[in-house]
A and B are shown apart, each in its own frame.
Chain A
Amino acid sequence: MVNKDLIPKYWYNIIPDLPKPLPPPRDPPDAEFSRVELLKKILPKEVLRQQFTIERFIKIPEEVRDRYAIIGRPTPLMRAKRLEEYLDTPAKIYFKYEGATPTGSHKINTAIPQAYFAAEEGISHVVTETGAGQWGTAVALAASMYDLSSTIFMVRVSYEQKPMRKTIMELYGGKVYASPTDLTEFGRKILKENPNHPGSLGIAMSEAIEFALDHNYRYLVGSVLDVVLLHQSVIGMETIAQLDELGEEPDILIGCVGGGSNFGGFTYPFIGAKKGKKYIAVGAAEIPKFSSGKYEYDYPDTAGLLPLVKMITLGKDYVPPPIYAGGLRYHGVAPTLSLLIKEKIIEWREYKEEEIYEAAKIFMKTQGIVPAPESAHAIKAVIDEALKAKTEKERRVIVFNLSGHGLLDLGNYESIRRRVEK
C-alpha cells in the first residue's frame, strides 16, 4: 500500500520565477479566426485557467492524487550503481524512473489531471492525436479512469507499424483511428488528394481538434503548452523530496526534450528551489532545433490551429527525419524552456542516433532497463558528464529523468540495430 503522503500536494509553475517576461500566445497577423479564442472551445476550462495562471504553486486535487497513487506515484528514484562502476566514475548517478507507470512513460502525469478537469466540467468524451503512441496510450488510460470516452487519431504509418500501441489503447477503452480518416472534413480533404496518405502529426492534430469542436468534446494536449509542464512538475517535486530523504544535493540535472514537458517537469522545481548547478536539455542531432532553430513566434501544431507561441523552432512545416525516437521528432521547444535556454540558465546537447544507441546499450547492460529511445538521449549526456567528473576528479551528483521504458519500442531498436550494426 502506497503512502499517499509521499505524492506532492502541489504542482510548481515556473512562470513567476522566470528572469524575463514570457511572451504571450498570439494570433497571426491576418487571422481569419482567433486561435486564442478557439482555445476556450478546445480545452477544459480549468486546464485553460492553469495555462494562464501565475500562481507559483497549484494545489493538486485530491482526486488526481488518488489516481497518481493508482499508477504508482511516487515513481522510484534509483541509483545507477552498476553504471557508475562501469564508467569508473566518482560521480553518483540517480534516475527518476517514469517508465514505472502502467503506460510506461511520464505522459500519464498530465493526461490524468486533464481528463479529471474535463470530467468535472461535465464533458463526456476527450480527443487527442498520437504519433508514436505514448501520449495516446496515456490519454486512453486517463479517460477510462474517469469514465470518459476517448478518441485517438493515430498517424497512419505508426498505426500500421505499431499494432501493439493500438491494442493497448483499445484495451483501455480508447477508439483508435488511422489518420487521415473520413471522420473529419480535414481528413476527407487529405484522403481525396491521396487515398494512401501516410498521415502526419499535424494532420492527426487537426483532425482531433476538428472532431472535438464538432461534437463539443474536449481536446487533451500532450506537450509544449505551459499547463502540461505544470502537471509534469510532479516528477521534479517528488525527486526533490526523495533526494532530501537520501541527504543528497544534486549538482547536475538532465532530461531529454521533445516538446519539453518531461524535462521541464523534472528540472523546473529544482530551478525554482535553487537546487542544482547545471541543467542539461538533450535533443536529437537529426532534429537540430537547439543548434539551428530560431527563437521566434511559431505554431505548436503543424496545422496552425493553436495560437502562436514564442519558442525555439525549426518551423512548423519542418519535416523531421524518421529517427527512432518518435517523441523527439518535434519542431519546437516549450516557450518557458526556450526562454531559459536563451537566458543561458539551461544548457543543451544534441546527440546522434548511433551515439544514443551505444548509451542505451550500456544502460541495458548495467541497469537492465530498456530505456525509451527518447530517454536514451538523457543517458548519453549522463555518461558524458560522469566521464567528465572522472577526468576532473569531482564527486558530482548527477540526476536524470528516465522518461519512459522502451518495451513498446523494440521494433525501433530492431531497425536501428540493422542500420548501425550493419
Chain B
Amino acid sequence: MRRMLVTYMTLGYPNLESFYKFIEKSVELGTDILEIGLPPKYAKYDGPVIRKSYKAVTSWLKDYVTPLKEVRKKVNIPIIILTYLEDYLSNLDNFLTILHELGIDGVLFPDLLIDFVDEYEEYVSKIKGKGVKAVLFTGPSLPDNLIIKASKISDIFLYYGVRPTTGVIIPVSVDSLITRVRNLVQNKLVVGFGLNDFNDLRKALSAGADGIAIGTAFIEEIEKYGIQSALQLVKTIRGILDEYS
C-alpha cells in the first residue's frame, strides 16, 4: 500500500508565484494530499517556523479566496485547509460554505479536540453538513477513548501530532507513541508535528503510520535555500515513504 505524503504549505508563502510553483511541482513529485495553512490570529499550537511564515504572508495577503481558487485549478489531489476554529466561531457556516464552493475537500482545526472538546461532535456534524470533510487532529495528551472515538468520525485520515507544537523537535519516543496509537485507530493514520528527521520518519512508518505530514521542514528549506531545494526534499521524502510500500 502506498504511504501518503501530506505536504503542508502556508498559503502564499514565500510569495504567490513560488507558492504555486511549489504546490504544483510537489504534486508531480508525489504529494498525495495538500494541507494549506490559513494564517490565524493566534497560532496556538504552531512552532516558530510556521508562525514566521504566517507573519510573512499576512502583511500582504488580504484575501484567501482567489489564491485558493487558483490552487484548486492547478492540482487535482485532495486539499485540506489547516486553521484554527477559534477564529471562525462567529461565522463558521459562512467559512465552510466558501470552502465548499471553492472545491476544497476538508478542514483541520488543531484546536478542535483541545479547546472545544465538549462540543467537538457538534462541530464535526456542522462541517460535514456543509459538504466539507472533517479531518481530526489528535496527539499524545488526548485520552485513549477520545482518540478511538475521534478516529472513527475523522474523514480522509486521522492526524496524530507527536509533539506539542509544530517544528520544535522535543525529544519524544516516536516509535512507542505510534505503536500505541496505531492500536487505537481504525482509520488511516497520518503522523506529523516535528517529523523531519529521516530516522524518526522511518520509525513512524515502521510503527504503522499510513502517512506522514511535513510542513516545517519544507518552509525551512525554502527560507534557507529556496524552492528548488524544498522540492528536492519532497522527492527524498517520497523515496523514504516508498521504501515502506
Contact = CB atoms under 8 A, between A and B. Distances in A.
B171 A17 contact: no
A47 to B, nearest CB: 10
B168 A21 contact: no
Contact of B141 (A15, A33, A40, A46): A15
A34 B173 CA distance: 22
B187 to A, nearest CB: 18
A34 B163 CA distance: 14
Given A22-B141, A23-B114, A52-B140, A37 B177 contact: no
Interface stretch (A24-32, A132-140, A259-267): A24-32
A48 B165 CA distance: 14
Contact of A21 (B117, B170, B172): B117
A40 B168 contact: yes
Interface stretch (B38-46, B69-77, B91-99): B38-46
A25 B169 CA distance: 14
B65 interface: no
A19 B141 CA distance: 11
Given A17-B143, A24-B139, A26-B45, A49 B165 contact: no
Interface string A42-53: 000110110111
Nearest to B161: A24
A36 B46 CA distance: 10
Interface string A164-201: 00000000000000000000000000000000000000
The SS class assigned to the B binding surface is loop
A20 interface: yes
Interface residues of A, number: 30
Contacts of A22: 141
A16 B146 CA distance: 11
For chain A, what secondary structure do more than half of its interface residues adopt (helix, strand, loop), or is it mixed? Answer: loop
A384 interface: no
Given A36-B47, A37-B48, A54-B177, A21 B142 contact: yes
A57 to B, nearest CB: 12
Given A40-B169, A48-B170, A24 B180 contact: no
Nearest to A26: B44
Contacts of A36: 47, 164-165, 168, 170
Given A31-B51, A34-B48, A53-B140, 19 more contacts: A15-B140, A17-B143, A20-B117, A24-B165, A26-B164, A27-B51, A27-B165, A31-B48, A34-B47, A34-B51, A34-B165, A36-B168, A40-B170, A49-B171, A49-B172, A52-B163, A52-B172, A54-B141, A54-B180
18 contacts: A17-B143, A20-B146, A21-B113, A21-B117, A23-B141, A24-B139, A26-B165, A29-B41, A31-B48, A34-B48, A36-B165, A40-B168, A45-B171, A48-B171, A52-B164, A53-B172, A54-B140, A55-B173
